[in-house]
A and B are shown apart, each in its own frame.
Chain A
Amino acid sequence: MQRLSRAFSNKVLTKMKGMIGVMKFHAGPGLPKKSKLRQLLLDVDRGRQLYLLMMLPVAYILIFKYQPMYGALIAFKDFDPTAGIWGSTWVGLKHFVRFIEQPKFFQMVSNTLMLALWDSIIGFPVPILLALALNNVAHKKYKSFVQTVTYAPHFISTVVIVGMLTQLLHPRMGALNLLFQHFGVPAVSYLGKAGYFRPVYTLSGVWQNAGWGSIIYLAALSSVDVELHQAAQIDGASIVQRTRHIDLPAIMPSIIILLILRIGSLMNVGFEKVFLMQNQLNLTTSEVISTYVYKMGIMSQFPDYSYATAIGLFNSVVNVVLLVIVNTTAKKASETSLW
């Protein structure tokens, strides 16, 4: 029996090899019908080293990212650890409905999105401009110094940054108001008015992250051919013109991709900074989804994993929708897109 099947499989294999050989031989333009499949197999064969390279990363993703994804099911169940994920009762969309029926649902979602939009609109261009400006700085040591200093606040913990911010913005004792008063601007309680929350959050975010965000653009800029700049200079182009026509296009792919990714994570407004900056007077703009989830956790003293997972899933779905929209737009408007 075994001998028979071995013979059989050998025959099949030889035949297949023959077929592939024939296809290889016949590879070229102008072939009818079978060209698509042939082309596919050809490409796969030609790119076999690339597939080999991909194997390890793909394996990692499968094991560490896809396998645990069944945990998202918790959102559709009443999770009971004693029964495990599979044993917990199925409740369908109950948690989603619960979330949407919250009295403050719209306010929370809109606060989250608005905060993220502010952060993006103001926070996104600054690192780009910073990178472009730094790139043009002639003095190398100064350039390096500025880079190192501006990227450092990123590493100071949020607790400390918000602490500093609170002190800075204090109407009576804070440096900012004292400075403004010097110029005749009256003192304002920036943290005590809901209307100021988004600007303060955004600008302090720029303060903290502009330097760090500019790194990727600086790396992209460093690959710009110096000869191009020299040629343009000989032609009489000003710094601004050179930046616009040489530097900017060079980093445009990075800009677009990063913008797509940014919009695709709009709902992920972090919890820590918002929570620390929140107070009773600015909740109308500062209550976001992540702080709500935190408060639910504290109140119940017993983490509701199902509810939190459902909300997280809700966020993800919105993010993906945004992502698809932006990516499609990018595809149509430029050469760069995520897929």
Chain B
Amino acid sequence: MRFGSLSKGDKVYTVVSNTLLFFLLLVTLYPLLNVLSSSFSDPKAIGAGRVAIFPVDFSLDGYRELSRYTPIWVGYKNSIMYTIVGTFVNVTLTIMAAYPLSRKDFRGRGLFIVFFAFTMYFSGGMIPSYMLIRNLNLFNNFWVMVLPGALSVYNVIITRTYFQSNIPDSFLEAARLDGCTDVKFLTQVAIPLSTPIIAVNFLFYAVGHWNAFFDAMLYLSDTKMKPLQVVLRDILIESRISADFNFDSKYAEAKQSIAEILKYSTIVASTLPVMLMYPFVQKYFIKGIMLGGLKG
């Protein structure tokens, strides 16, 4: 629809809406540009507060220092592996839990939901989790980055909501008449119709894996298995909220200056891959293929 052919009310709406969106865009673009530019600026200029939106005293020091630190590349590799495998496990389990819960004729549905939701509020904490991991022999094991977080109840709930709202009962009835089993319906009808929510699940879980560090810090002592976030935290002392800097000698200061140089380049290095994930995922936000024969 061309702008000129819109009604007056619509024109007003479009102008106002686009203006507000533009404003939001500017406001959120600022921190991004600031970080990006700082990563390409001389730390002295950053300290003097001269970097706003564009790099000042262009410098590749940040990236040079970063690439010099070899564990980063190992971290990247590990994170990619954890993310791919982990997300695949996540999405599969989530669908397996969400679909039955979305069916009104699923006996015991209410109980199951409570069973799942209860775990969002009550947990045992770190100590028994440690015991569990230990008893399962998952220390320094690849799967410790996948299994403990294999299912997020929050994701199950939003997926269930989507199934409930978007898979009409009529489809199911029609499929039943054709002798379709539940599993077949799930894989051949429900999933293709739900590409948006599956895409969202992929995104949420993938980001979760990419940003994960806590379990790794606790359970992975082998430096060759560390994910990216842990490696970055290792370099950046500032990212730790601790007042323990005040060692008496050059160490504190040297550490700080290294941290200064690396601060922004590490953020870009860790955030860029994730940021690029979204446009990719967004392609799936189209309604699934309508299986023509089942319509109506």
Q: Do chains A and B touch in the complex (CB under 8 A)?
A: yes
A64 to B146: give the CA distance in the assembly, Å: 12
* Contact present for B28 and A153 (CB under 8 Å): yes
Closest Cβ neighbor of A215 among chain B residues: B200
Contact partners of B207 in chain A: CB under 8 A: 155
A157 to B238: give the CA distance in the assembly, Å: 11
A336 to B163: give the CA distance in the assembly, Å: 13
* Contact present for A64 and B115 (CB under 8 Å): no
* Contact present for A68 and B100 (CB under 8 Å): no
Tell me if B223 is interfacial: C-beta within 8 Å of chain A.
Answer: no
Contact partners of A144 in chain B: CB under 8 A: 279, 282
Kindly specify which of A7-15, A117-125, A128-136 makes contact with the partner chain: A128-136
* Contact present for A138 and B1 (CB under 8 Å): yes
Kindly specify which of B71-79, B80-88, B125-133, B248-256 makes contact with the partner chain: B125-133
A46 to B104: give the CA distance in the assembly, Å: 13
Contact partners of B200 in chain A: CB under 8 A: 215-216, 219
Tell me if A93 is interfacial: C-beta within 8 Å of chain B.
Answer: no
* Contact present for A72 and B123 (CB under 8 Å): yes
* Contact present for B96 and A57 (CB under 8 Å): yes
Tell me if B183 is interfacial: C-beta within 8 Å of chain A.
Answer: yes
* Contact present for B147 and A64 (CB under 8 Å): yes
Query: Which B residues from 1 to 50 make CB contacts under 8 A with A?
Result: 1, 7, 9-10, 13-14, 17-18, 20-21, 24-25, 27-29, 31-32, 34-35, 49
* Contact present for A164 and B34 (CB under 8 Å): yes
Shortest distance in angstroms between A77's beta carbon and chain B's nearest beta carbon?
A: 11
* Contact present for A253 and B165 (CB under 8 Å): yes
Per-residue A-contact encoding for B88-130, CB less than 8 Å = 1, 0 else: 0000011011011001011100101111110111111111110
Tell me if B196 is interfacial: C-beta within 8 Å of chain A.
Answer: yes
Contact partners of B150 in chain A: CB under 8 A: 60, 64
* Contact present for A56 and B25 (CB under 8 Å): no
* Contact present for A64 and B132 (CB under 8 Å): yes
A272 to B243: give the CA distance in the assembly, Å: 14
Contacting B27 at CB < 8 Å: which of A40, A207, A222? A207
Contacting B123 at CB < 8 Å: which of A69, A238, A323? A69
* Contact present for B10 and A207 (CB under 8 Å): no
* Contact present for B164 and A72 (CB under 8 Å): no
* Contact present for B49 and A60 (CB under 8 Å): no
Closest Cβ neighbor of A260 among chain B residues: B157
* Contact present for A71 and B239 (CB under 8 Å): no
* Contact present for B182 and A253 (CB under 8 Å): no
* With contact pairs A149-B32, A156-B31, A159-B239 given, residues A65 and B271 touching in the complex (Cβ less than 8 Å): no
Closest Cβ neighbor of A212 among chain B residues: B207
* Contact present for A253 and B164 (CB under 8 Å): yes
Shortest distance in angstroms between A80's beta carbon and chain B's nearest beta carbon?
A: 12
A173 to B166: give the CA distance in the assembly, Å: 52
A65 to B122: give the CA distance in the assembly, Å: 9
* Contact present for A219 and B181 (CB under 8 Å): no
Contact partners of B243 in chain A: CB under 8 A: 298
* Contact present for A312 and B125 (CB under 8 Å): yes
Contact partners of B164 in chain A: CB under 8 A: 253
* With contact pairs A222-B287, A272-B241 given, residues A338 and B182 touching in the complex (Cβ less than 8 Å): no
Contacting B25 at CB < 8 Å: which of A136, A146, A157, A320? A146
Closest Cβ neighbor of A250 among chain B residues: B165
A-B contact pairs, 10 of them (CB 8 A): A57-B156, A68-B125, A71-B128, A136-B14, A144-B282, A153-B28, A220-B162, A222-B287, A257-B161, A272-B241
